[in-house]
Each structure stands twice: as C-alpha cells, then as structure tokens.
Chain A
C-alpha cells in the first residue's frame, strides 16, 4: 500500500532526466518517433481546423477521417510510452524486466488514456483542464503495472488508489514549463537554420522567409509538435520517478497480501 511522501518536484524531474540519459539514444528515438506521429498529426489537424473554422461543421466525414488518424497515432504513442515506462522502471530497479507487457496492463493504460482523450476533445479548447488531463494520462502510463489484474472498472479504482494527484499536477506543470522552453528553442533553431542556409549563395528561400514568421500559427503548432516529442522521454521518466519513489515507500502490506493469495492457491 502506498504512503504519502513529500517529493521535491525538481528532484523528480532531475531523476527523470538521469533515467532518460541512462536509457540512451535508441529508447529516446523510439519514444520521440511515436510521440511526433501523434503531436504532428494533432498539430496538422489544428492547423486545418483554424483554416476552416467557420465552415468546419459542414465537413463531418472529413473530420471523422482525422479522428481515425488521431486515435490511431494516440494509441500507438500510448503503447510506446508504456514500453518506455517499463524500460525506465527496469533501469531504476537495476533489473532486466521482460519487454513484453501483460495485456491487461497495456489495455488499462490505453483505456485511461483514450477516455481522457475524449474529455480533452470536449473541454480542451478551454485549455485549463488540459494539465489535469495530461497528468492523469501520463500517470496511467507510469502506473501500468498496477492494472495487471484489473477489470475495466478496476482500472479506475487502481488509478484512484494512491493517486498522488497534487504531485502529478505539480510535475505536469514543471514538465510543461520545460516543454515550453524546448518549443521556444525549437522555433528559434528553425529561424536560425533558415538564416544560415540563406547565407549560401544560389539557395532561394524567399518562400520560407515569408512562411517562417511568428504571426503564422503553423510555426507555433510545428514547434509545439517537435518540442512535445523531444520532451516526451523526460515526461515519462519524471512520472516514473514519482511512481517509483511512491512504491519504494510501501509498507509491505501489498507483498503480504500477494503471499497470502499465493499460499491459499497452492494449498
């Protein structure tokens, strides 16, 4: 059973960064690609919606096709996040966890993630509930092992048990701030790269100069997509640290319960 513990949020982010570094570039690239597929498609969807905003409701089948793409990439990203969280847990425990995830654990993380994604599409435009939604989605990924035995309803009970909501929200805000810094850097790097490439004689970048302005919402959306994908490993690493540090404070009651259950079955 989990006990409440005071966490220093900055230490958790630091720990997450350490885990990301320890896992190496291959794991980073793995999560980056899947996250970019989702954030890229969401950015493209928002850009298209901004273009057609006033007559958007008239193109229902078109948006439904976008829905299939967004749900597909979100599902793939969540599965990749679970595998990455598993690798983080293995790195923290210093063991080699089998890479295969138990189906119920994966399905539990998917169920929570998709349910909150439904909520995000309804209330996301108000922006305020987004940090809560994103923090709960990431928490479900980091705690996927808790869902290994849960029924679809049990998943919500497990998530509510030892939720550490205060820390999860605080961590989400801190990681969100880090993501914002990454986004600003990505956009600045894009401007810098265009200027540098433009210095070469014979390269006509006039069209790019016209498009690459801060007044163009597509620039911000593309920066958000890349920045979010770059910060994704840090996010999962930090949330896994939160869950791991909570789990390491267990009283041992859960292990005793497991042992009683096993002894009853073997008797």
Chain B
C-alpha cells in the first residue's frame, strides 16, 4: 500500500502489482493526467478572471437595479 495504511482487500485496488487505496489511486491518476492539464488550467484561469470581472460589474448593476426599484 503506497500510503502505508492498512486496508482490507475489498477496499484496495491493484495496479501494476501495487495495492492502492482510493486516495492513492487518485494521486497516481492525477500525476498521469498532469501533462494534459496545462491547457485546461489556462482556460480555467481565463474563465475565472472573466467571471470575477463580471462579478465586479454585477455589484454596480445590482445597485442600479435596486436603486431604480426603490
């Protein structure tokens, strides 16, 4: 077991002759997928920045809407 913890055989998953728990398997999968994630991370950063800008503007729009309604 990679994390050196005790698990029952039902909870462990064997891959390449090594037993993994769910967390360890997720880490292995994560390391493997790291190389293909660069573009996705970049696009996610762009989207988050765009939504943050929109949120900043939404404060003003919200103020204008409520001021107009009251």
Contacts and interface: CB of A to CB of B under 8 A. Distances in A.
Please provide the 9 A-B residue pairs with the shortest distance between their CB atoms, ordered closest to farther. Answer: A67-B59, A121-B62, A67-B56, A121-B58, A107-B44, A152-B47, A56-B67, A114-B51, A118-B58
A71 interface: yes
- Secondary structure of the A side of the interface? helix
Given A67-B55, A151-B44, A57 B63 contact: yes
A60 B15 CA distance: 59
Contacts of A166: none
Contacts of A95: 3, 5, 23
Given A63-B60, A74-B55, A118-B55, A111 B44 contact: yes
B24 to A, nearest CB: 9
B22 A64 contact: no
B63 A63 contact: yes
B65 A125 contact: yes
Contacts of A265: 32
Contact of B29 (A54, A55, A104, A262): A262
B48 A110 contact: yes
The CB with the most chain A CB atoms within 10 A, among B41, B55, B57, B66, is that of: B55
Given A104-B41, A149-B37, A255 B22 contact: yes
Given A121-B55, A121-B58, A104 B44 contact: yes
Interface of B: 3, 5, 13, 15-16, 22-23, 25-26, 28-30, 32-33, 37, 40-41, 43-45, 47-48, 51-52, 54-70
B37 A104 contact: yes
Given A107-B41, A114-B48, A151-B44, A64 B59 contact: yes
A67 B70 contact: no
A255 B13 CA distance: 9
A9 to B, nearest CB: 26
Nearest to A250: B22
A111 B47 contact: yes
Contact of A255 (B25, B30, B61, B62): B25
21 contacts: A56-B63, A56-B64, A56-B67, A57-B68, A64-B56, A66-B59, A67-B57, A67-B59, A71-B52, A71-B56, A104-B40, A107-B47, A108-B44, A114-B55, A117-B55, A121-B55, A121-B62, A122-B58, A125-B69, A152-B47, A255-B13
A102 interface: yes
A247 to B, nearest CB: 9
B58 A152 contact: no
Contacts of B44: 103-104, 107-108, 111, 151-152, 155
B64 A151 contact: no
A54 B68 CA distance: 8
Given A53-B70, A111-B51, A262 B32 contact: yes
A189 interface: no
A93 B60 CA distance: 43
A113 B61 CA distance: 18
